[in-house]
Each structure stands twice: as C-alpha cells, then as structure tokens.
Structure 1
Amino acid sequence: MGKGKHWRYGVILDAGSSGTRLHIYRWQDPEKALKHALKHGQSDALNSLPKIMTEKKWTMKIHPGVSTFGDKVADVGREHLQSLVDHAMQIIPREKVKDTPIFLMATAGMRLLPQVQQTALTSEICSYLRKHTDFSLPDCDLHIQVIKGETEGLYGWIASNYLLGGFDNPDKHQHGKGHHTYGFLDMGGASAQIAFAPNSTEAEKHANDLKLLRLRTIDGSPSEYKVFTTTWLGFGVNQARASYVENLEELYGTENSQSELPDPCLPKGLRTTLDGTPVTDIKSVKANTTIIGTGAFDECLKQTYPLLGKDKPCDDKPCLINGQHVPAIDFDVNHFIGVSEYWHTTHGVFGAQEGDKAYDFATYQKKVKSFCAQDWNAIKSSIQSRKDKNKYAMQDAQEACFKASWLINILHDGIGVPRIGIEGDKMPKVNVSKGALESAKDKGFLEPFQPVDKIDGIEVSWTLGKMVLYAAGQIPPKGENDDRGNEVGFGSNPVGLTGVKTPTDWQFPGSSWRPFAGGHHKGGNSTIDDDHDDWDFDDDLLHKRGGSTTGFLGFLALLLLLVLYWFRKRDRRVRLYTRVNSFVRRSRKQGGIGGGHGGPLSTFTSKIFGGSRSGNYERVSAMEEGLSGADQFELGDVDSSLDDSDSSDGGSGSGISSSSSSSRFGGNRTQPQLGSLSALDRSGLVVRTDSRERLMLPPFSQGGVGRRSRAGSPTRMKSPLMSPLDER
C-alpha cells in the first residue's frame, strides 16, 4: 500500500470480559481534507466529520480477557498484549508509529475486579507499551483506563450515527419531531448499555440526566448533541446466566451436592455442570450437581423475567431495568440498532442472514421455540455434519436458548421495544426524504429495533466512536485562535449555569489541534494556499491522469518514429545523429538539456543512432563545456491514499460513512537538480580528433583517468519513489 504523509492513524485495544480486540483506524489529515473541500466547493464535506477508514484485516482478537491477569499482572504484556502490538506494527507504516496514539480501554470484565487489581493492571499495561513500542502514549490515565459503561454506550452511539449518516446528513434522516439520530443498544458478557437522544419534551424534562457531546466538523464548526446513556452491570448474557443458575439452585435445592436441576433454557437432553460444561461421564453425574435441559422455551421466558429486577424500587419513573430511571423512549422517533449479543443471538444459530430486514418478534420467537424443543443429540449431529462448522458452533448451540430468552426479556419487557408482528404494532410513521426512507426501510433502520453487525461493510463498534471523537479533536475551531468553551469531548449537561460552556467533568478525546500552516479559515473561506500538485482525491486524480495520458501517447508516437527510423539506412542514421549531437552540444553550452558528458539525451542518441566507423566522428566532452550536469533528478514526496480497490472485504465503506472511501494521491515534484561534479569526474576528452589512435588514454599507471563505472553515476541514483510502498 502507498505511503501517505497526509494520513493519520489510531490504535484501540478493546479489553472486554472474554478477550481483547485490536482495532486500527486511519483518516485524512484535517488540513488536507479542508483544502480539498474548499477547492471543489463541497459544502457537504465541510459540514461533515473526518472520514474514518478501517479494514477487516486491521482487527485481531485474542482470548481470554485482560481481567484474567488480575492475579498475574506482570504477565499481561508478554503473554497477552505483544501479539496484538506485533499485528499493529505490520499494518501501520514505520514512520507513522510515533505519531499514532494507542489506547487500551477496558470494559465490564475489568469493572468486576477489585480496584487494586484494576490499578495494577492499567499501570503495568502502560509501562509495557511505553517500553516495548514507539506509539504515542503521553498520558497513562487517559490512554489506558477502565471506562464506565455510560462512556462505552456513548461511544457506541457516536459510531452508530456516524455510520448511518445521522451526523453528516441530518436532513435525510428526519424521523419526525425534529429528530434525526438513532439509538444504540449493546450487550456483552458482563454488561448491557443503552444510549439515545430523547425527544425534545423528554430532553427538557430530564436535562440533568443527559450528557453533552461536542464534535467538530471539517470546517471547524462545533456540533453538539444531548444524549442519555446508562449501563446495567451484571446484565450481560454471561452474568445473567450465572444469576439464573443460582436461582435454579434456590428453586430446586440441592441434597448432598448430588441433585439434578431441570432447566427449560437448555435444549432437551443436554446435561451440563453448573458452570455450563457438558457432562458425558456417568460417574460425574452421580458425584456432582448437574443441570438437565427440558427445552421448554415458554417456561424459560418466565424464569428469566425476574432477573430484570422490575420489582425494585424506582425513585423516578419510568424505570426500565433494575430500578434504574431512564427518560421515556418515544418509539415514533427513536429507532434503535443493537450490536454484539443482540446481533449474535438473533443470527447465526437461528439461521437469520445479514441481508434480512428488520427484526420481527413473532418470526424470531417461532424459530427459537422450534430449535430449543429439539433433542440435543439431533442438534449435535446436525452441527457435526455441517461443512461450515467452527470450534464455537457447539457452544453457541448450547447457549442459544438462554440467550434468546434473555434478549427477548431485556428488549421487550425491559426496554419496552414494541413486539412487532404479535401485538398488532406497526412501524412508526416517519417524516423523511423518499430516498432515505426507502434505503432505511430496506435495512430496517426505521423499525423500533434492528440488530446489526456491520453497516456498509464496517463493523459497528464503540471503538469507532472513540476514534471519531479523537479525529474531530484534531480540527482547529472555526474563526478562532483557540477553542476554549468549544472543546471537543463530552461531560455533564450544564443546565442553568450561565456562561458555562464546558463542564468541570469534561472528558477530552486525547487529541490536540494546531493552526493550519497557511493561515486559519474564517467564515467558510480559507486563506490556505492551495497546492496544485496535491493529488489527494478522486477528481484531482482523474484530472491528472488525463494530462498524463496525453503525454504518454506522445511518448509512444516518438518511440514508434525512432523504431521506424532504426530500420532505415545506416548513413542516414549517422547524419541525423551528427545533427542531434550538435544540437545537444549547443544546448549544453547554453545550460540546456543533456548537461554533462553522457547526459541523458546524448547517451540515448548514441545507443539509438550508433557511432561512425570511419576516422571522422565526434566526441562530446563535459570538460569542454565545464557545466554542472543535470545528472541528479529528485522527486518530491508522493502521497497516495487507498480506495476500495486496495481494501479487503472489511472494506472502507463511506469514509466510514455510507459511501465508499476514495483513492487519493498527493505530492509535488522539484526541478532537476544540477550536480556539482568536477570536470575531471565527468571524464571525457577535450579535443575533437580525426584519429582513433589519438583518442586512446594512457595506462592508468601513467596518470590515465581510467574508466568510470556507470553504476556509480549520480544519474543512476534511486529516486525516493523506489523505496517500498508499505503503508499497511
């Protein structure tokens, strides 16, 4: 991949409860993006956030999670992080590493550890990364941290709306009542999150419960949103399952640790230990408490419902889950997407395809009931016979029924999403443009809920939201010398505080901005000098290619004429050679082409036309002219940005917005640089002669100049462009 000095990179390690996933992102330098948008009058681009790009091969996940190193902190770097760092170093250009920030942000798994273990782990991780990598890590507390569930939810909300276009094209995403953003639901192994912008009535009513989020578009304009976000620690699928098993033990009791507990949330006939390990040895069954599946999904729904904690005291209604207050959700305008377990539990085992339209409760529940009623041996045989089986397929099938019941309860009884397809509920009426409406309907995003894994080929991950925030923080504010009061980041919504624009608990993205080199842009106009040689974007590239094509065709025509001439009579070639040689000599005397003995044109003509075999022929000597030869030719930096043709199937999507990223080339050329070789170094003879014998050099031992190797000629020095182009 091409080197591009105008690319910025970022690395995020998502340290979850079950494993750590590496994400690498890149985006165009904001100054270059602004110059291009201004040059081409692209108002949409000026009002957009930076275009973040990634690819499938730029991610990597390892198991287990960082939290498992709580008792062996010193091993977390060598045994866990190093393989992720090595992968990142294969992607990011070496010259970019020092300017590339690295973040490790731990979520629910680490939140469950004692504070002393959390602190020890984050400290060790920061020390290891500083010692063993050159990535930018100026602030340990900011770059290596255990983030709150609310922060994770907010990052996910940013990522979702970024990919769906709710930020850059609000006019095309009007859902009614002035609302144009989408809600976000996430569920992992240990926790679940929700984030959404309430309708105007609820936003005013619950202003103190909202977060103020501030981004910055390419032209430096601030963009503010007020978002509600909360988390339910212990309500991820794995923690919910652990709580459920405890309830089974209380419900049926155990006698001398040899009881068998019937479980309607396991496929019929499946037997496991309390921790979910399948039991095949009859001796183990007699010696330990086991769980036996009954495959009664309706009963499973009833027994998982109490885990929602709907009976807990609620100080301020409405309370959705575990007595936790949430502003009322207006499903006429709030359309949610669900990621992680919301996606995996509605797809995969139950056969839903990525191209399916919106989630339909009735259809989904029918599939689940049919699957869970099957005998476990039949399910196992079916999985073993599949060609596309993987090592997690059996475990996924074993856990599918409980996960489905938990998702249904959380989604419909907890959050209150309408049960489309069974309760007579219909898709809310919305006020959107026709094109956006058709596109959104096809993808299901105007339904109350739609599970997603990718949008236009890009994985929906909260890590993307963090990087969008970071990239926005690199853009200078519009028309100001600083951004005090308009900093990018998020914090408490400053309600009723006159003159306060940035709360005291403000969370900064970790990035900083610098004024643009050519002056700051004001009022949408830039004083930056445009570089006509910047080949950064598609339309510039096509224009340049047009000129290059014309020149190339001309070169081919000249080459054809020379080839044709090659087959003409030799005496005519010699006469033409003499004329060209004379022209070269005159030009060199005037500082023109060819400078120096064996200049590019004289060497070329000598090879094409040949020399005279008679005693009368000419030699051109650099010493005769005494010029500095143009035998060094330098090319300036060439910056190339990759388009979709460079991308793997992870794709680069719409910047990652909903359109594909573009190929961009940039750079400039300097004029040929005249060398400073001495006349002797350019060795050649001063005198024209008619005798070949008089041209012979004395032996080297007698002071002869000898013969210079062409390999050492400055003309054969490599251009900077001949270095490997390794940007990935």
Structure 2
Amino acid sequence: MGKYAFVACLGKYSIVLDAGSSGTRAHIYRWPKKAHKGAASKELEQLPHIETTKEWTKKIKPGVSTFAKKPEKIGPDHLHDLLKHVHGIIPQGAVEDTPIFLLATAGMRLLPENEQKQILHNICSYIDDNSDFLLPDCDAHVKVIDGKTEGLYGWIATNYLLGGFDEPKAHNHGKSHHTYGFLDMGGASAQLAFAPNSTEARKHANDLTLLRLRTLNGQSNDYGVFVTSWLGFGVREARSRYVKALLKGTPGGTVDRKRPDPCLPDGLRTTLEGTVLPPDGPVAGTDPYLVGNGKFEECLRETIPLLAKDVPCEDEPCLLNGVHVPAIDFDVNHFVGISEYWHTTHEIFEMGHQDKAYDFKTYQTRVKEFCSTPWSSIKEGIEQKKWGKVDQETAFEVCFKAAWIVNILHDGIGIPRIGLEATPSHGKSGTEQLAEHGKHGKQKGYLDPFQAVNKINSTEVSWTLGKAVLYASSQVPGPKGGLPVGFGSNVPGKIPEDFEYPSSNHPHIPAPPSSGKNGTSEHWHDSLFDGESSRRIPGLLLFGLIVLIVIFFLFGRERRSRIYHKLGLRFGRGNGGSSPRRKAPFFRGKIPFFSRRGAGTSYERVLEEGDHPEFELGSMDSDEDSQSSLSPTSAVMGSRPVSRSHHLQSPKFNFDNSSSLSIASNNNSMDRRGLVIRTESRERLFPPALAPTTTGRKSRATSPIRHSTPLTNA
C-alpha cells in the first residue's frame, strides 16, 4: 500500500473530525516519519504518503450544530463514541504525539456567533479532559472553517490522489497545466476550487490563494488556486428555498392544502419538511403538503431561478449569486465532484447501470425515467434491494437533487453537456469517451470536463484528507531559512500577513516593518521567550542581567557602598608603609556608569576631599611641570621622592565634558585642560608644613587665562 520502504514504528498519525451539517465523521490518517535511506530521488520529490482505511472512519448523527441549545451534552452524547473509536485504532505510544482537529463546516456557519463559541468551548473541554491527544491550542484545532478553506482542502485531496502534485508530467493537460478542479456539495453549501490557466492566473492574481506544500526532500512548491463557496447552495438549503418559492408561487385564495411538486416522484405525498405521508386519505393538520407529479423537466425549469444568476456582478466575470470567478478553460480545467455530486449521480443508478459514466444526456434520461415511476413501484424496488442499500428518504430526494446538480454544473458553472454539446471528443460519444479515459486513468487521470468520484485508488476523496496532507507536509524539515507550509493571500515567495499554518505548532508571527535575515523577522519578546527559539536561554540570561543592573542603580549611593564592602571590593591598609589604596571595582574606569558619580564627578570628589591621598599625578605637557616632582603619596608618607616616568600614568579626563572638570570656586577658561585641576589639587593635597620648598616651584592656586600657544612660558 505504501510508496516507499518505511519502518512501521516510525509512523505518525493525525485525527480530523469533519463536523458537518448532518453528522460528524472521524478520519484517521497515518504517514511515515521519514523515507528510507535508499529512497530514489524521484520518490523524495513527492509528498508524504498518507494512508487510511474504511475501518478507521466512523460517522455519527446528528451534526454538532443541533447542540446549540444544549452545548453541555455534546461531549457525552456526541463525542464519546468518536473518541472511543479513535483510541481503539491509534497505538497507545503514539497518542500524545497525535494531533486532533475538529473542523466544523456549513451547519455551524449558519448559527449565531455566540452559539458557535459555546459549542466549540464544550467540544475542546471534553476532548482535553477525556483524551491525551495533542491539543495545544483550541483556537487552531477546534474551530469553524469557512467555505473557502474547506474547498482548498478538497482541492489538495483530489490532486494528491490523482497525482497532480507528484507526477505533473504524467498529468499534463496542455498549456503547462497539470492539476484538477474540485467540486463539493453538502447539505448547506457548495464549493469550487481550481487553478486557472496562465492567462487568467495573471489577470486575476489578487483573487487567488497561495498554497505552499513541502516534498520529502524539503523542497517547497507554491500553487495559485481560486477557491469560492456558496452558502445556502447545498442540496438541503436549496430544497428549503425551493419549497418557499413553490408556496409563494401558489395562486392566492387556494382552499386545497395540496401543492403539486414536480420534483417528487409521481404520487408521493410529503410534509413541507419532507416527512412521507400516507398515499391515500385526508392529511391531518392545517399546513399545506406536497404531492409529487414526477415531471422532471418541469423540475429543472423551476430550480433554475435558485442559481441567482440575475444578481448583479460587481467584478466580472461571475457565476452564481453574483460571485466573481475567473474564466474557466475547460480544455485544461477538468473537474472532479464529490459528496452529493457522487451520491446523486450514482446511489440510485449504480446497481442498475454498471458503467457508472456521467454525461448529461444519459443521466437526464435515467433520472426522468425514475422520477416518473409511481411511488408505489419505487417502494417495491427499495424493498427488493433493486438499488442496493437505498432507503425511502434517499429515493424521494433524488429527483430534486438531480435537478439541482444538473443546473449547478451546466447552467451555473458552465460545464459542457457531454452527449449534447460539442466537446473535444473526436467524434466519440460521452460514454465511450469516459470509458476510454478509464482505461488510462492511472497514467492520465480524468480528462473529462466533469467526473463524479467517491474513491480514487481505493481511498475516499474527502476534504479532511487535504487537511492531513497539509499537516504531514509541514512536518517535513525544510531548508534553513525556507518558507513555511500553509496558505494565505497570493504573495509568492513570502509569508502573507494572513498566512494560516497547518497547526498551532507553527504559530504565525506578523512581520514588523524591518525584516531580518532571509526575509524573516522576529519580535524581541518572541526571540527571548519562544520555546522554539535557539536564543531562548542566552536571551533570558541577558534579560536577567539587565534587570539586576537596573535594580542595583536604584539602591542609591550609600547602599551601593555597603554592597562594595560586603563583596570585598576594598582592601584594608597594607603593611610596610604602603599607602592605603582602594581596590577599584572591576568595571570602574572601564565603563563610566559603574563609577559612583560618573567619569567626571569622580575627579571632582578627589579635589574636594584632599585628605584622601589616592590621586597620583602623572607627566604633563605643561612647561610649568616639566621638572621632576614628588608624588603626593610619597610626600605624605615620608618616602623618598619618585621621579615621574612613563610608568606613572596621569588620570584620564573626559575632554568633551569640561564642565565636570572645573572647580566650583574658579570660573576660569582653560586652554590647557587638566592644568588647573592638577596644580590645584597638588596645592590642596599638601599641608603647609609638608609643602616642598626645594623640589620645584609651587604651583599657583589658579592659572591665568592663556592666549599664547601651549609652549609659551608663564
């Protein structure tokens, strides 16, 4: 069943719960974690191989939307059996790594937002409390998806199964086109998805959705897909609109409650809601009821207005209900229809007609024959299993559904009527053409304008498979700096702002105005605290250091001084006549803000407190100090004079901040910065009794303003 040789224990799983309008279906998908080392390069150019079986699927009724008034019951009354089913299939060791998704469709879209939220909240709580499946974020894993997303997933599933992704050359339809269109119809909505031809793709680029998938070799492939959805155009909602129009078109003043319905088999009586009534006798109640006359051609005419083709089109071209759709090139766009397209064209007729071919002429003839059959004869055929497992409800609904499907396909979307309209069939009938294509289906897929399918290569075609393919593709490691898997606005080669990742394991970080390396960018907060970031630990350490520094400087000077003492940053008075020296803090003098008052004010403190003999004078450029002089330290302590040499370094000043170097009592302007400070400090540091008299001139208390060059004598 697999494409490659894989180690079975390395398989990964995902669960997708399709919460539709009529029920919820659980799907389980499995794929290998990685291809085996000997896989050929051609195999590595393909998407991960997804596996599923019929036994892995389970459906229960009714739909989750029916729990709008009792959301607290949705867990025990609806989800319990589904969770029990999937737990029985997925190996226990793989449960915690298996993501679970519940994606609700059209039935939930029809509910008010507050009712949707309440239902989703109860679903998430129940799954989280009653299973160990991977559910990191309810907003990403349990939600209502819009019709476009549903259609896109279906398009992925169809092309994945037909080989449009993995073998593009084998599915070349001409004009460099190798993908298939997708049609889906449920009870409430209908979807259409296709890749326009190159001309239409350029013309309507802004209307396309960017889809990015990743093959096993890490290569990303982008696709531009047009997707649209029509809410209210599913068979159940269309039937409801039809009945309302039928009653509205009844002439006023009608006393008889019986309403003829050409879309019901001849002689069938039902309520407006579709409940079958006894064939004879009076009908209790006051509401009108319907009586079928089996006139299928009239049914076709009565359902055409439901297409809403007369709604104004604001963006040409349009199809149904004024919705813009790029022109469809049926030479290269071949559509595959699932769900109601399959059930309505096959369920009644599959047993009686083994060819399973669809063409307009053949199909319409068969439906017309069936619907004109008296209801009593149809009931007998149901009891005799003439149409397999078909029940009464399916049988009496097929006439309206068939008319609706035919009108959607041909009058709505514009698919050529095979059997009546000219098609590139080279003179062969529609049925013959389909049969011939079937012989080569494995090589070329479906080349007809439309073909209804249920399974491809023994796998059911479902939009849930598309979700699984997208998720599995995202689990393939990509190249460094590669673009992520997902979909969003059509901005090729980039990550659109509305880009949607396959799961919460791939969160979307909006790009700030300035981009980083490889065209991506990160917010500092995410870089520091995101668990996936390689810079998380050093980032946290840096952040903690910054916090400690800020707190340290908030303590105040005195408290910082006490911290210095406690940390042993000062030495006591030494022995042997050495001067009391302060051990400077490690950073002082190297980084200005680590000193007590900054670079300038530390020197000012020395001048004001001359009794601390820690200031050493070094050589100066001044001619007044060219002679050798005693260091203040040696003079005070009675040590022998020490000649000034290159080993004694003068203190470094911040020449750009002269205000911090000036003495408050002197407002002199200085040409030779530092001279005033050095002479002033020397005088103040020597008490009169100890002032040297023979070692050179005594410096003046202040220096006059000098307008001469630095070499001019005083």
TM-score range for the pair, normalised by the shorter chain length? 0.5 to 0.7
1:293 alignment counterpart: 292
1:337 alignment counterpart: 336
Deviation, 1:440, is 2.9
1:460 alignment counterpart: 461
Contact 1:220–1:476 under 8 Å retained in 2:
yes
Deviation, 1:101, is 0.3
CA distances 1:547-599 after superposition (whole Å, capped 9, x unpaired):
xxxxxxxxxxxxxxxxxxxxxxxxxxxxxxxxxxxxxxxxxxxxxxxxxxxxx
Contact 2:347–2:387 under 8 Å retained in 1:
no
Q: How far apart in 2 are the matches of 1:329 and 1:143?
A: 34
**For residues 291 and 178 of structure 1, do their structure 2 counterparts lie closer, same or farther at Cα, with a shift above 3 Å needed?**
same
Q: How far apart in 1 are the matches of 2:76 and 2:142?
A: 17
Question: Computing the radius of gyration over CA atoms, which structure comes out larger, 1 or 2?
Answer: 2
1:328 alignment counterpart: 327
Q: Which runs of structure 2 are paired with 1:3-402 in the superposition (5 Å)?
A: 4-30=8-34, 33=35, 36=36, 38-40=37-39, 42-253=40-251, 259-280=257-278, 282-284=281-283, 287-351=286-350, 356=355, 358-386=357-385, 390=389, 393-402=391-400
Q: How far apart in 2 are the matches of 1:457 and 1:105?
A: 24
Contact 1:98–1:135 under 8 Å retained in 2:
yes
Q: How far apart in 2 are the matches of 1:463 and 1:248?
A: 36
1:668 alignment counterpart: none
What secondary structure, in the 3-state scheme, does the structure 2 residue paired with 1:363 have? helix
CA distances 1:469-496 after superposition (whole Å, capped 9, x unpaired):
0001111113x1x43xx1100000027x
**AA aligned opposite 1:22:** A
Contact 2:171–2:444 under 8 Å retained in 1:
no
Contact 2:270–2:290 under 8 Å retained in 1:
yes
**AA aligned opposite 1:448:** P
2:604 alignment counterpart: none
Q: Which runs of structure 2 are paired with 1:681-692 in the superposition (5 Å)?
A: none
Q: How far apart in 1 are the matches of 2:255 and 2:86?
A: 49
What secondary structure, in the 3-state scheme, does the structure 2 residue paired with 1:39 have? coil
Deviation, 1:424, is 3.0
**For residues 465 and 355 of structure 1, do their structure 2 counterparts lie closer, same or farther at Cα, with a shift above 3 Å needed?**
farther
Contact 2:416–2:422 under 8 Å retained in 1:
no
Contact 1:206–1:327 under 8 Å retained in 2:
yes
**AA aligned opposite 2:33:** D
Q: Does 1:509 align with 2:497?
A: no
Q: How far apart in 2 are the matches of 1:114 and 1:266?
A: 33
CA distances 1:443-492 after superposition (whole Å, capped 9, x unpaired):
971000000000011000000000000001111113x1x43xx1100000
Q: How far apart in 2 are the matches of 1:207 and 1:22?
A: 36
Q: How far apart in 2 are the matches of 1:109 and 1:477?
A: 37
CA distances 1:104-140 after superposition (whole Å, capped 9, x unpaired):
0000000000000011111111111001100000010
**AA aligned opposite 1:364:** Y
Q: Detail structure 1 runs of 4+ shifted over 4 Å in the superposition.
A: 253-258, 352-355, 435-438, 441-444
What secondary structure, in the 3-state scheme, does the structure 1 residue paired with 2:404 have? helix
Q: How far apart in 2 are the matches of 1:471 and 1:69?
A: 32
**AA aligned opposite 1:503:** P
Q: TM-score, normalised by structure 1?
A: 0.65
What secondary structure, in the 3-state scheme, does the structure 1 residue paired with 2:283 have? helix
Q: Which runs of structure 2 are paired with 1:435-450 in the superposition (5 Å)?
A: 439-440=440-441, 445-450=446-451
2:475 alignment counterpart: 474
| Structure of greater relative contact order (alpha carbons < 8 Å, 6+ residues apart) | 1
Q: How far apart in 1 are the matches of 2:269 and 2:77?
A: 34
Contact 2:344–2:401 under 8 Å retained in 1:
yes
Deviation, 1:234, is 0.3
Q: Which runs of structure 2 are paired with 1:558-637 in the superposition (5 Å)?
A: none
1:419 alignment counterpart: 417
Q: How far apart in 1 are the matches of 2:352 and 2:41?
A: 37
Deviation, 1:512, is 4.9
Contact 2:361–2:419 under 8 Å retained in 1:
yes
More displaced stretch, 199-208 vs 279-288: 279-288
Contact 1:73–1:124 under 8 Å retained in 2:
yes
**For residues 355 and 465 of structure 1, do their structure 2 counterparts lie closer, same or farther at Cα, with a shift above 3 Å needed?**
farther
CA distances 1:226-276 after superposition (whole Å, capped 9, x unpaired):
000000000000000000000010011575885211110001110111111
**For residues 444 and 436 of structure 1, do their structure 2 counterparts lie closer, same or farther at Cα, with a shift above 3 Å needed?**
closer
Deviation, 1:438, is 5.2
Q: Does 1:491 align with 2:495?
A: no
Q: How far apart in 2 are the matches of 1:260 and 1:460?
A: 41
Deviation, 1:354, is 9.6
CA distances 1:664-695 after superposition (whole Å, capped 9, x unpaired):
xxxxxxxxxxxxxxxxxxxxxxxxxxxxxxxx
Q: Which runs of structure 2 are paired with 1:691-702 in the superposition (5 Å)?
A: none
Q: How far apart in 1 are the matches of 2:382 and 2:476?
A: 51
Q: How far apart in 2 are the matches of 1:171 and 1:141?
A: 39
Structure 2 stretches lacking a partner, 5+ long: 1-5, 428-435, 507-714
**For residues 428 and 221 of structure 1, do their structure 2 counterparts lie closer, same or farther at Cα, with a shift above 3 Å needed?**
farther
Q: How far apart in 2 are the matches of 1:245 and 1:188?
A: 18
Deviation, 1:389, is 5.1
Contact 2:267–2:375 under 8 Å retained in 1:
yes
Contact 1:427–1:446 under 8 Å retained in 2:
no
Contact 1:3–1:93 under 8 Å retained in 2:
no
**For residues 256 and 76 of structure 1, do their structure 2 counterparts lie closer, same or farther at Cα, with a shift above 3 Å needed?**
farther
Contact 2:264–2:293 under 8 Å retained in 1:
yes
Q: How far apart in 1 are the matches of 2:426 and 2:176?
A: 15
**AA aligned opposite 1:501:** K
Q: How far apart in 2 are the matches of 1:224 and 1:383?
A: 49
**For residues 384 and 204 of structure 1, do their structure 2 counterparts lie closer, same or farther at Cα, with a shift above 3 Å needed?**
same
**AA aligned opposite 1:508:** Y
Contact 2:7–2:32 under 8 Å retained in 1:
no
Q: How far apart in 2 are the matches of 1:39 and 1:167?
A: 22
1:659 alignment counterpart: none
**For residues 258 and 74 of structure 1, do their structure 2 counterparts lie closer, same or farther at Cα, with a shift above 3 Å needed?**
farther
How many residues align? The count is 493
Deviation, 1:356, is 3.4
**For residues 271 and 442 of structure 1, do their structure 2 counterparts lie closer, same or farther at Cα, with a shift above 3 Å needed?**
farther
Deviation, 1:385, is 2.0
Q: How far apart in 2 are the matches of 1:353 and 1:146?
A: 39
Q: TM-score, normalised by structure 2?
A: 0.66
Q: How far apart in 2 are the matches of 1:67 and 1:23?
A: 19
1:645 alignment counterpart: none
What secondary structure, in the 3-state scheme, does the structure 2 residue paired with 1:269 have? coil
**For residues 296 and 285 of structure 1, do their structure 2 counterparts lie closer, same or farther at Cα, with a shift above 3 Å needed?**
farther
**For residues 335 and 388 of structure 1, do their structure 2 counterparts lie closer, same or farther at Cα, with a shift above 3 Å needed?**
closer
Contact 1:216–1:223 under 8 Å retained in 2:
yes
Contact 2:210–2:490 under 8 Å retained in 1:
yes
